[in-house]
Amino acid sequence: MSDLPSAPSDCGVGPVVVFVDSAFEPMIPKFMANRNKEVATMTDAIAQKDFDTIKQVAHGMKGVSGSYGFHDMTTIAGRVEQAAKVADEVSIRQDLVALASYLARVEITYE
In the chain, where the domains are located: 24-110
Report the alpha-carbon distance of residue 38 to residue 9 in Å, rounded.
23
- Computed over every residue of the chain, the mean pLDDT equals 90
The 3-state DSSP class for residue 9 equals coil
Q: Are 18 and 70 within 8 A, CB to CB?
A: yes
Partner residues linked to 107 by β-bridges: 17
Distance from chain centroid for Cα 46 = 15
What is the pLDDT, as a whole number, of residue 9? 37
Report the alpha-carbon distance of residue 35 to residue 100 in Å, rounded.
9
User: Which positions of the chain have pLDDT values less than 70?
Assistant: 1-12
What is the pLDDT, as a whole number, of residue 18? 95
Q: Are 54 and 80 within 8 A, CB to CB?
A: yes
What is the pLDDT, as a whole number, of residue 13? 74
Provide the CATH topology of domain 24-110. Answer: Four Helix Bundle (Hemerythrin (Met), subunit A) (1.20.120)
**Greatest extent of the chain over all pairs of C-alpha atoms, in Å:** 41
